[in-house]
Amino acid sequence: MSGDIRRVGVVGGGQMGAGIAEVCARAGLDTIVCEATRPAAEAARERIAVSLERAVQRGRLDRISARTALEQVTVTAELADLADRQLVVEAVTENAGTKAELFAALDKVVADAQAILATNTSSLPVMRLGMATGRADRVIGLHFFNPVPVLPLAEVVTTLHTSAETATTVHDFATRTLGKTVIRSTDRAGFVVNALLIPYLLSAIRMAESGFASVADIDRGMELGCAHPMGPLRLADLIGLDTVASIAESLYEEFKEPLYAPPPLLQRMAEAGLLGRKTGRGFHVYDRGGETR
């Protein structure tokens, strides 16, 4: 059934939304990216164009394929333009209220009752989003990893209401159409990857906060001592410290385990806008190309 999905909508054109749109476009799908304003929509298109050009420069994609993919992308600031979509993937800010309001609106806008509404949330309960609609059986989590065009994994998250047909369709879409490897999870905060990853990142942040070791030595220790391609603090910067804090808060709210509680340093950095690579400064300092200085 995944082969029947040819019209995809992505709501949110930030780092994750643009990446999701790019992989859909590269798979030859008619892809619409919806943003809150026209300038934000145009910025999303530019983000996709830059990423495609980067793939060409790094030998991962030929120029004709990049041009063809970009031609598959339409951007809009009107949610109504998603009316004919067969699959809509939500990738807006990690806020439960914002996402629930969006799902309620999408339920009214997307005309086909069989269309699937998916969320790219990294931690929030998918059930709450499904219950904001009249089609909870067609709501599912489809969580990609950053950078979406490069990392091969996607998590498919089913709720108590998600139908087996929806789960199978989305699984096949992610694997056969987008070429991702899929792991399955039930609807618990953090799903599989973040439920394991976030406590590790928070532990590294607490270590730096306490002065136990320097940021550089913490990252170097895990890179060279455990063969990790990236240290935990550099990885937190890549994810975005606001996102790490948000996921930690969701995990703590659900499980009440101290290891999930966001450290004060993380909260202060998020409040200060020191969000990591996307703002140029987090635990490390970055140049405009995203390289550490």
Q: Is 71 a catalytic residue?
A: no
In contact, 72 and 30? CB cutoff 8 Å: yes
Strand (E) positions, 66-219? 73-76, 87-90, 116-119, 139-144, 153-158, 181-186
Q: Is 143 a catalytic residue?
A: yes
Active-site residue, selected from the candidate residues 51, 90, 120, 122: 122
Active-site residue, selected from the candidate residues 143, 161, 171, 284: 143
Active-site residue, selected from the candidate residues 123, 194, 246, 250: 194
Show Cβ contacts of residue 211 under 8 Å, excluding neighbours closer than 6 positions.
Answer: none
Q: Is 2 a catalytic residue?
A: no
Angle ∠(55,9,96) on CA atoms, nearest 5: 105
Q: Is 214 a catalytic residue?
A: no
Active-site residue, selected from the candidate residues 155, 161, 246, 284: 155
Q: Residue 227, exposed/middle/buried by CB under 10 A (0-12, 13-18, 19+)?
A: exposed
Q: Can you name the residues that pair with 74 across neighbouring β-strands?
A: 32
DSSP strand pairing (181-186 vs 153-158): parallel
Mind telling me the catalytic residues? 122, 143, 155, 194
